[in-house]
Each structure stands twice: as C-alpha cells, then as structure tokens.
A and B are shown apart, each in its own frame.
Chain A
Amino acid sequence: MSTASTTPSAFDRQGSESDKLRIDAAMHSFVSEFGITTALHMESCVRCGQCAQACHFYVTTGEAKYTPIYKLEPFRRAYLRQTSPFAPLIRALGLIKKPGIADLEQWQELLYDSCTMCGRCTLACPMGIDIAELVKEARHGMFKAGLVPERLALMDRTARQWGSTATPGEDLPEILAEASRLHGVEIPCDLTAADILVTAAPAELGEHTKALADAARILNRIGAKWTMAQSGFDAANVGFNNGDLELQERLTRALIDTAVRIGAKTVLLPECGHAYGAARWEAAKWYGQALPVRIIHMTEFLDELIASKRISVKKIGGTATFHDPCQIVRRGGLEAAARRVLAALGFELIELQDHGLASYCCGGGGGVVSNQRATPLRHKVFEMKRKQIEATGATHFVTSCGQCRITFEMGAKHADWDQRTESMLELVADNLAD
C-alpha cells in the first residue's frame, strides 16, 4: 500500500520511552490480538475499496487515506510479518516492512481522529471483515506504545485516578444531592442493597444532570429499589475507546463488583453508546464467566417498561426523525426498541435517508468528540447529518446516546443551527402519563 499522505499527520506522545520500545510494545500488542477471527479477516481482504464509500470521513472529505481498511495498514503489516502462515518467509525475504515509529505516528490520526469505530464499513465489506473491531484492536497497540491523542490520554489518566472522567467517586453524593434539589426528584446513593444499579455518562454528572433526574423519575415511578454508588457509577468506559485494556477491565469490574456487592440483578446503563459496547458485550470477558447481573441499556429499559405497561406515556404527536447511535443499533441490536419507544410517544417517524443499521455515525463516537484535534473533520460529518435531518422536515430530532447528542450540539453551535437534539429518555420522562 502507498504510504504517502496528502495532509500532514497530527500525533501526540505519552511517556518518554525510546522509539524502539514504543514499536516493540505496539507490535507485541498487535500480535496478542491475532486470534482466529482476526486472522480470517486480515487474510480475506481483496482490497476492493468498497469500505471507503461507507465511511463518513471519506465521504465528506474524499481523501483516500480515510478508506477504512487503510487505517489498519500497520496492523496488517504486523500480522503478515509476525503471525500469518508465511510470516517466517516474509521476514526472511524482507517482503513486508516492519511498521516504524513514523508509521505509527502517522496512523494515530487515522485510528483515533478519523475513525469512530461505528462499523458502517463492516456492513459494506463484501468479505464481512469487521473493520471496526480491528481498529479497536489496533488501538490497544497504540495505547501500549504511548501514541494516543493527548486529549484522550488526559481523560485516561483522569479515569485511572478517579474511576471516571467526570468526577472522583467521593464527590458523587454531593452531585446527586444537587441534581436532586435542582430537579426535585429523589436520587438514592450508596444504598447497601438494591435491585438496580444505575450508572451515568460523564456529561450527566456535569451539565446534563437532568438525564439523571429523568432516569430517577422513571425508576421512582415504577417503585424500583435502585441506587447509584460511589464505587461504580461511570459507565462510559474511556478505556474501551482509548485502547487501554487495563483501564477497561478496571472500570468494568467496578460496575459488576458493585452490583454484586449490593445484590443488584440489573445494571442500568445510561444513554451512551460506547457504555453499551463496553459493558453489554465485553464485561463478561473481563469478569471471566457469565455475568451474575443483567446489563441493560436505557433504550431497552424504556421499551420494556412501556411494553409491560409499567409506565405509560402521553402522546406528543407530530413528526420526528431519529439518529441511530452506532453502538446501540448497528453494533448493539436495538434498532426496533428505539422505534417502539418513539411510536409510544405518538410520533410520526420520518426516517433519515440513511437510518437503522446503515445510519451514518454522528462523527463523534470512539472518543472523536473529545479529541479536539478532530474538530474540523467532525464538523464535515455534521454538515452531512444536518442535511439529512433537514431533508426529513421533521419537527423533533431525537437520539438515544448522550455522546451523539453532545456531538450534534457542538456541530449545531458551530453551524449556528437551531434544531434541538432531544434525548429519548428526556422525552419519556417529561411525558409520563399519570
């Protein structure tokens, strides 16, 4: 593959290790990821390029370097040199160049700034290569090499210290008490026993505490015995996005261990896509056995409450369009659940041109929303989404992921767009029927 780039690459470094140690760390991590499925995917690529047209960053810029499979180039070279069936031959004859520090630095932008791990490329690949999953695996090596965008690394360091990117656990009771006073709803904290452990996304512990209050209002309405807990409250697993496996495990265990300790049967995740990816599908991997608790996303929780008539909602009516969060729908399977909730709210749903499994990402997933370096790219994606949203003519624009919502809000502010991005949870909570 060509390694020429049309624009200068941006990269950051953490630590003071030598280039050799960084390369060794990355290669060692890459090799540890090469299981059967990864090998199948690496060997099956015919380099047809069909993944390019699926990627929002390629579609909105036209730059070939954003072709999803190209983002895996150092990973591919590591595979061919170290693990592929002909690796000894490839190394002996020098057929594939070992990734160097310049390669890894260059690919930092491709793996972190211009990939949200949304998996739309996975749908487009005729060989069924799960490129998003491979990018996640490649990020593990980049983190080990200390080659992560500094903003994400800062969040990582914070989460390692606090167990959250938003606040240390000891501040949680105060935050919840303040949210409780502000929104007039009881929010229990650190109960010694409860049926449901409720978790939050970082923004909900800062400027979006209404989301906490909305969840509390619904949980209190159904008479649930629930609590939040200092020992495990932030579900947006920054380790999952950054490639920091150690942190991912620690944050995951904090949630599960807390739930087990208080006897909870359910861990309720907030409206956050990557929280769902990290907890629903990967928590058991870290726990080492089938989980003793059920992990459920807010969207399916609302869907189940409405279907079982434990809550009923007033019909809002009018038209709405819905942005499908990638980790919840395309990689999470909750496409129908979200639409049932919207139907219960009485909306006439006008779908985006690309919706459901094939919906375009908001442009901020996978940590991109927090990576200020990627802001210009994110704004290009926002423009595409904005056009699709406006084309529906819908009155309401709804989504079920806080990170998507923040991404849209940032885009709207930049573009001076007055369409509000509404939270599905908020709509349900504000329209609970008596």
Chain B
Amino acid sequence: MPDLSPAREGAPSDLIGALRAVQHGLWPRKEFAQAALGSTINGYVFHLGLALVFLGYAPHIAFVQRLSGLSWPPLPDAVMYLAAGATIVSLLLAVVSRLTNAVLRKISTADDLITWTLVMLPMLTGMSVVVEPSLAILARDHVTYPIPLAIHLLSVELLLIWFPFGKLMHAFLFVFSRGATGMRFSHRGVQL
C-alpha cells in the first residue's frame, strides 16, 4: 500500500532523501565504525582493486576496444600488479572471516561461497596469463598462450552467468535499496 502520510514539514524531496542515503552508505556511522572498520576497509580494497584491474589494465582496454571501439589510457603494469595482489589478499581475508566469524557463519549461504569462488577465479586465471609486460603482449598480433587465456575468459564468462543469480546483483541494487530507505526516513524528517 502506498504511503499517504504527510511528510514532515521541511523534509527534503524523495530524490534528495534517496541520494543522501546512498552517500551516507559509503562509510559506517561513527557509532558503528569501530566494529565495521575492518570489513569496510577490506571491502574498499577489494572493490577499488577489482575496478583498477578491470578498467586499467592495458590488455583489458584493448579487448574492450576490439569489441566496441572505445578505449582510454591504461595504468602502469606495476599499479596493476599491486591492485591485483591487494584484491586477491582482500578476497582471502573475506573468506577467512566468513568461515571463522560466528555471525558470518550463521548468516552465510551457498551464494556466498559460490560468488566468492567465481570472483576469485578470474583473478587467479588472470594472474596466470600475466607473464610479460603489457606492451609486449599488445605488440604481438597473435596470442602465444591461448589455453590459459581461454580459461581466463571462461572464468569471466562464468562470473557473468552467475551475476544475476546471486549477491553480485548488489552492485546495481545497492543504490535503490539505500535510496528506498533514504526516502522513507527523509519523509519522516529523520536526517541520516
């Protein structure tokens, strides 16, 4: 049923309320920061590392360019190796935490381990094909290690197939989920 209650006097619009909630969700409130600090930092390391590797690695950009014609300047290989290493470490920390923390063990489902595995696989198979600098790879007009590369692509495809079935959908839904609560709260005059 729709909410027909009058909004609190002076309450911001639904859109502003939603956007504020999206922004507030970027970091825990100070009351929860101590308890959530480790998992939050680990989450940021993982997401930023993954984004850097996916979007900044020269062979990835070349792959996108072949398909769409779009390209952008790559990041140095050293940055990529560092980002990939940090991402893998963050994933390992996440799974150790999930398997050892009593709360996480209680609430975990098969989705968590399936998703973790399918995210880890492209990282590992990707690292296995990084045997020479980006410039050398791109200078060649053919692939010298087709099977490892095919496995890497296959692992990415598995990840994409799984994407809509599990928790990976939070990548899109978090905006709407936070936004819906932000609208409810701002309607009531609650300033998050």
Query: Do A and B interact with each other, yes or no?
Result: yes
A contact set with B: CB distance below 8 Å: 1-2, 37, 40-41, 43-50, 52-54, 58, 64-65, 67, 69-70, 85-86, 122-124, 126-130, 133, 280-285, 287-291, 294, 330-335, 354, 357-358
Q: B103 to chain A: which residues have CB within 8 Å? A: 49, 52, 58, 64, 67
Bound together, the chains give a CA A41 to CA B43 distance in angstroms of 20
A123-B108 in contact given A67-B103, A332-B190 (Cβ < 8 Å) = no
**Interchain CB contact under 8 A, B32 and A53:** yes
State in angstroms the CA–CA spacing of A124 and B40 once bound together.
12
Residues of B at under 8 Å CB distance from A?
A: 1-6, 8, 11, 21-22, 25, 28-29, 31-32, 35-36, 39-40, 43, 101-109, 111-112, 164-165, 167, 169-170, 173-174, 176-182, 184-185, 188-192
Contact status A130-B181, CB under 8 Å: yes
6 tightest A-B CB contacts, nearest first = A333-B189, A128-B178, A284-B4, A53-B35, A44-B177, A64-B106
In whole angstroms, what is the CA distance A242 to B67 when docked? 57
What chain A residues lie within 8 Å of B1 (beta carbons)? 285
Expressed in whole angstroms, the Cα–Cα distance for A53 and B33 within the complex equals: 10
B5 near A284 (CB under 8 angstroms)? yes
Pairs A–B under 8 Å by Cβ, sample size 15: A41-B181, A44-B176, A44-B177, A123-B29, A124-B32, A126-B40, A127-B25, A127-B173, A127-B177, A128-B178, A283-B5, A284-B3, A284-B5, A332-B188, A335-B191
Nearest to B165 among chain A residues (CB) is: A86
Contacts A124-B32, A291-B4 supplied; 11 other A-B pairs, CB < 8 Å: A37-B180, A44-B173, A48-B43, A49-B104, A50-B32, A126-B28, A126-B36, A285-B4, A330-B190, A333-B11, A358-B32
Contact between B106 and A1, CB atoms less than 8 A apart: yes
B107 in contact with A49 (CB, 8 Å): yes
Across the interface, name the chain A residue whose C-beta is closest to B168: A46
Are B105's CB and A64's CB within 8 A?
yes
| Residues of the B chain whose Cβ atoms lie less than 8 Å from the Cβ of A282 | 5
Q: Which of A85, A128, A287 contacts B177 (CB 8 A)?
A: A128
Are A47 and B176 touching (Cβ within 8 A)? Answer: no
Known: A64-B106, A127-B178, A128-B177. A43 touches B169 (CB 8 A): yes
Q: Which residues of A contact B177 (CB under 8 A)?
A: 40-41, 43-44, 127-129
Cα distance A287–B40 in the bound complex, in angstroms: 43
Contact between B109 and A1 (Cβ–Cβ < 8 Å)? yes
In the complex, chain A residues whose CB is within 8 Å of the CB of B180: 37, 40-41, 128, 130
Contacts of B5 in A (CB 8 A): 280-285, 291
Q: Which residues of B are found within 8 Å of A289, using beta-carbon distances?
A: 4
Q: Which residues of B contact A44 (CB under 8 A)?
A: 169-170, 173-174, 176-177
Q: How far is the CA of A282 from the CA of B184 in the complex (A)?
A: 12
- Judging by beta carbons under 8 Å apart, are B167 and A47 in contact? yes
Q: Provided the pairs A50-B36, A281-B188 are in contact, do residues A354 and B31 lie with their beta carbons within 8 angstroms? A: yes
Cα distance A37–B187 in the bound complex, in angstroms: 15
Residues of A within 8 A of B39 (CB): 48-50
Which residues of A lie under 8 Å from residue B189 when comparing CB positions?
332-334
Compute how far the CA of A294 lies from the CA of B31 in the bound complex, rounded to whole angstroms.
34
CA distance A54 to B109 in the complex (A): 21
Q: What distance in Å separates the Cβ of B103 from its nearest Cβ neighbour in chain A?
A: 4
Chain B residues positioned under 8 Å from A69 (CB to CB): 107
How far, in whole Å, are A65 and B39 apart by their CA atoms in the complex? Answer: 20
Contact of A40 among B22, B43, B176 (CB under 8 A): B176
Q: Once the chains bind, are B101 and A127 in contact (CB under 8 Å)? A: no
Question: What are the residues of chain B within 8 A of A43 when measuring CB–CB?
Answer: 169-170, 173, 177
A330-B2 Cα distance, complex, nearest whole Å: 21
The answer for the CA separation of A282 and B189 in the assembled complex, in Å, is 15
Contact A331 B104 (CB under 8 A): no
Given A40-B180, A281-B3, also A333-B174 (CB < 8 A):
no
Question: Considering the chains assembled together, what is the distance between the CA atoms of A287 and B31 in angstroms?
Answer: 38
Contacting residue for B102 out of A1, A41, A64, A291, CB 8 A: A64
Known contacts A41-B177, A44-B170, A128-B174: A290-B108 contact under CB 8 Å: no
Contact (Cβ within 8 A) B167 A46: yes
Closest to A122 in B: B181
With both chains docked as a complex, state the minimum distance between the C-beta of A203 and any C-beta of chain B, in angstroms. Answer: 25
B173 → A minimal CB distance (Å) = 5
Return B83 CB to nearest CB of chain A, in Å.
Answer: 21
Chain B proximity of A50: nearest CB distance (Å): 5
In the complex, residue of chain A having the shortest beta-carbon distance to the beta carbon of B111: A47
Q: Of the candidates B11, B29, B108, B179, which one forms a contact with A1 in the assembled complex, judged by CB atoms under 8 Å apart?
A: B108
* Chain A residues within an 8 Å CB radius of B36: 50, 53, 124, 126
Q: How far is the CA of A127 from the CA of B172 in the complex (A)?
A: 11
Contact for A285 among B3, B6, B181, CB less than 8 A:
B3
How long is the Cα–Cα vector from A91 to B156 in the complex, in angstroms? 27
Residues of B contacting A1 in the complex (Cβ-Cβ under 8 angstroms): 106-109
Alpha-carbon distance between A354 and B43 when the two chains are bound, in angstroms: 26
